[in-house]
Amino acid sequence: MKRSTKIIAAVLLVAGSTSAVFAFSKPGHWQMSPEEKVEFVTDRVTQKLELDAQQQRNFTDLTELVVQIMLDAKASKVQQIDELKGLLQESSFNQAAALDLIQKKTQMVSEKAPLVISSLAVFLDSLNSEQKQKMQRFFENRRKHYRHGDDE
């Protein structure tokens, strides 16, 4: 696998796993503030991977960054939906405006990706081989769970 493919996969795995933990945690956890969710996820990962203090700080930095990006995206979502509704109400679809909406979203991803990659690298580089193997098993099990019933 190319290095860039590995990096993209790692970012997607972290973002996806963080989102999944937020979304599928106990129902009482749905009402948590973003700060409480970061603490919950950090505690859970710390326990599962037996992170030391430095690794825990690295993971907290990563989760806080991802949550901040998610909050930023959520804040602009209402405006983007309103703009899209406006485009749909016009008699002729404004392709330039639609493309501009997509480019704004793409630009945000392009700007934030290096920060996430850097923070992810710091965290992953701080893990020992046993912890990395636990993560690989976790993601492999998640992959099997999501692909259950699919023809491969």
Query: Residue holding tokens 């997509």?
Result: 102
The 3-state DSSP class for residue 100 equals helix
pTM of the full predicted structure? 0.65
Q: Is residue 148 assigned to a domain?
A: no
| 36 located within any domain | yes
Q: Tell which wins on pLDDT, 62 or 144.
A: 62
In a domain, 98, yes or no: yes
Q: What is the pLDDT of residues 99-152, one digit of tens each?
A: 888 888 888 888 889 999 999 999 999 999 999 888 888 888 877 666 555 544
Q: Six-digit token pair at 111?
A: 């700007």
For residue 136, tell me if it sits in a domain: no
Domain count, the chain: 1
Contact between 116 and 69 under an 8 Å Cβ cutoff? The reply is yes
Give tens-digit pLDDT for 2-57.
666 666 666 666 666 565 555 544 555 567 777 787 788 888 888 888 999 999 99
**pLDDT-based confidence at residue 58 (cuts at 50, 70, 90):** very high
Q: Does residue 25 lie within any of the structural domains? A: yes
Whether 141 is in a domain gets the answer no
What average pLDDT does this structure show over 50-69?
90
Position 101 scores a pLDDT of: 85
What distance in Å separates the CA atoms of residue 49 and residue 84, rounded to the nearest whole number?
A: 43
Q: Is residue 147 part of a domain?
A: no
CA-based nearest residue to 105, from 79, 67, 68: 79
- Print burial letters for 132-144: b (CB count within 10 Å at least 16), e (below 16): eeebeeeeeeeee
Q: Which domain holds residue 63?
A: 3-128
